[in-house]
Chain A
């Protein structure tokens, strides 16, 4: 019995040391790939709530989002925005408003504006590529975020890739491979936004950020909480969901 116990303890120690060594040897690309495996999806349906806090004011918006590849559709359901829809098709963004007779196409600098006055820009939600495709990452250290050990990585935009932020510093949970904090910088080095994840949940075998807080550092006293109420990966989405005809 003692022999068995000794064998079990030694085996557990060996496995633990090997795993740690193996994980410690992860490259930046591997860490981001594992993060992408968790956070990136091809098709999903999300019920979400956006809480925009601007000084003393708190505005809540609710929405249902459908995403498939490069396409996305957001339908707002809170009373003041009910019926407003945003459709992303590739690099184009179209909007439908219940009081407007035409669809409105948004482009240019407007895409850098906050969605519905929030700290998330249209570009933030339009970037559907994997981080590994957009940035070249380097592992620059390890730190704790809210008591959780994290890899600290720095990503610089890959040549020729259209990105909203030239540089991003990411804190990736060492155990769950979810980004817990991110600082987003302009090419000039100016800090533009800080994103932190305050709630992570395991859904269908993947860790997923359920509450994200974004702070636009170019605005004063504002932050936006994006809370995922429900998410379904690979749901059945009607074929015409992302057409302009369906948007009207």
Chain B
């Protein structure tokens, strides 16, 4: 075996340029796999996290009718307690469900601001600021000012919404909205914070205000439009959801509970993409294998006489096959190692700077929860996966030229 290994390295250095081209081809393919997997994983991670933070929590509880009209931000179907026991009691009952760590109430409603040029449509989110800061990544997005304070007529808005309204942090803004009793009402708020994010819904459409103020202004005391349940891990949702559904069915069948995957159109799509991309990664490495196979065929052809001589001197077919598989595997390991290393470094860099898809996605509806800033994920497991994929696929691909070399008849080979 040692003899074969020495021979492998000797052979590889005999035609350096061919070896280098093969290694580069493998390295490039593996690097692309590391990058693409990082990008896809980053996209799925970002879409899932944003959907959980700003739309559904891990489990979302709403009135069954509200679910059908959610896009209209109707106030006609609020969450106001289980069988008339009040919202506080409902929150405390849900908190007692095994696996539920936090219950976050939100009151969402349609609103608008009249500017000189246009009426700007918006979506008001009445929230408990402390809970939102604890649950979401809002603190990172809050680039100026602070979060709203309960009991005060304050709002926090995204940069683009502020630009549309021609307002800054510290200014006042009069917001119009319909109350639960269909009265058009206008109220002046102070802008206390600015959010900077690639999420269009937060940047251009929504504004935060204290939940107590929203309830009072909309005539919805002790009512919200949705309750978001948070578990310690999103993987627990399949176990916790049936318990929540059972509680609601038993206490008040007006309400429905949905897992975060049920309320997203994008997450199942992303998962499907990820499954399809696994085949794309294999295909990419196979493409690079064509170069390796070609190189090895050329090596077999160049060394036909040598193979014949080795066979005549007693080297068995399986040893010749092993020799060529080893040569290919060494190229595969070298190429995969380089590609995985470069891909990993590239992902480390891109995970910090990210890609701005803002312009490409400018036509996308503000209601779609999709961050236009995409950050690939740099993970060791991805890098190891790509390295292993490159090495294994190249080694398997080398079987073809190796078999051909092993099948050569010594007498015929020496005559070549």
A99→B188 CA distance, assembly (Å) = 7
Does A80 belong to the interface (CB within 8 Å)? yes
Tally of B interface residues using CB under 8 Å: 20
Q: Which chain A residues numbered 73 to 125 have a C-beta less than 8 Å away from chain B?
A: 80-81, 84, 95, 97, 99-102, 104-110, 115-118
- Tell me, rounded to whole Å, the shortest Cβ–Cβ distance linking A80 to chain B: 5
Contact A116 B182 (CB under 8 A): yes
Cα distance A200–B339 in the bound complex, in angstroms: 86
Q: Write out the residue numbers on chain A whose beta carbons fall within 8 Å of the beta carbon of B182.
A: 52, 54, 59, 116-118
Which of A54, A99, A118 meets B187, CB within 8 Å?
A: A99
Highest count of chain B CB atoms <10 Å: which of A61, A104, A105, A118: A104
Chain B residues contacting A107 (CB-CB under 8 Å) are 114, 119
Chain A residues with CB under 8 Å of B183's CB are 61, 80-81, 84, 116-117
Chain B 257-284 residues near chain A, CB threshold 8 A: none
B5 at the interface (CB under 8 A from A): no
Bound-complex Cα distance A54 to B76 (A): 10
B12 to chain A, nearest CB (A): 72
Q: Is the CB of B119 within 8 A of A95?
A: no
Hey, which chain A residues are within 8 Å of B112, CB to CB?
Answer: 110
Interface of chain B residues 185 through 239 with chain A (CB within 8 A): 185-188, 217, 219
Q: Are A84 and B184 in contact, CB atoms less than 8 angstroms apart?
A: yes
Return the chain A residue nearest B186 by Cβ. Answer: A97
Kindly state the interface size class of chain A when it binds its partner: 20 to 34
Q: Considering the chains assembled together, what is the distance between the CA atoms of A161 and B389 in angstroms?
A: 72
Query: Which residues from B are CB-within-8-Å of A109?
Result: 119
Alpha-carbon distance A102/B116, docked complex (angstroms): 13
**Contacts A97-B187, A108-B118, A110-B112; A102 near B174 (Cβ below 8 A):** yes
Interface residues in B36-69 (C-beta closer than 8 Å to A): none
Query: Chain B contacts of A110 at CB under 8 A?
Result: 112, 114, 119
Residue of A nearest to B172 (CB): A101
Partner of A80, one of B76, B172, B174, B219: B219
* Bound form: Cα–Cα A83–B217 in Å: 15
B176 contacts the other chain (CB 8 A): yes
Chain B min CB distance to A115 (Å): 8
Interface: B179 (CB within 8 A): yes
| A116-B184 contact, Cβ under 8 Å, with A102-B174, A109-B119 | yes
CB neighbours (8 Å) of B184 from chain A are 84, 95, 115-117
Complex interface: chain B residues within 8 A of A102 (CB):
174, 188
- Chain A residues with CB under 8 Å of B118's CB are 108
Please provide the chain A residues from 102 to 153 with a CB less than 8 Å away from any CB of chain B in the complex.
102, 104-110, 115-118
| Residue of B118, B119, B217, B219 with highest tally of chain A CB at under 10 A | B119
Contact B178 A101 (CB under 8 A): no
Contacts of B179 in A (CB 8 A): 80
CB <8 Å contact, A104 and B181: no
CA distance A106 to B186 in the complex (A): 12
* Beta-carbon contact of B185 and A104 below 8 Å: no
Task: Across the interface, name the chain B residue whose C-beta is closest to A115.
Answer: B184
Measured between beta carbons, the chain A residues less than 8 angstroms from B186 are 95, 97, 99-100, 104
Distance (whole angstroms) from the CB of B213 to the closest CB of chain A: 11
In the bound complex, how far is the Cα of B182 from the Cα of A53, in angstroms?
11
When C-beta atoms are compared, the residue in chain A nearest to B114 turns out to be A104
Closest 7 interchain pairs by CB? Answer: A117-B182, A97-B186, A100-B186, A101-B188, A99-B187, A100-B174, A102-B174
What are 14 contact pairs spanning A and B, CB under 8 A?
A57-B76, A61-B183, A95-B176, A95-B184, A97-B176, A97-B187, A100-B186, A101-B172, A104-B174, A107-B119, A115-B184, A117-B178, A117-B183, A118-B182
Residues of B within 8 A of A (CB): 76, 112, 114, 118-119, 172, 174, 176, 178-179, 181-188, 217, 219
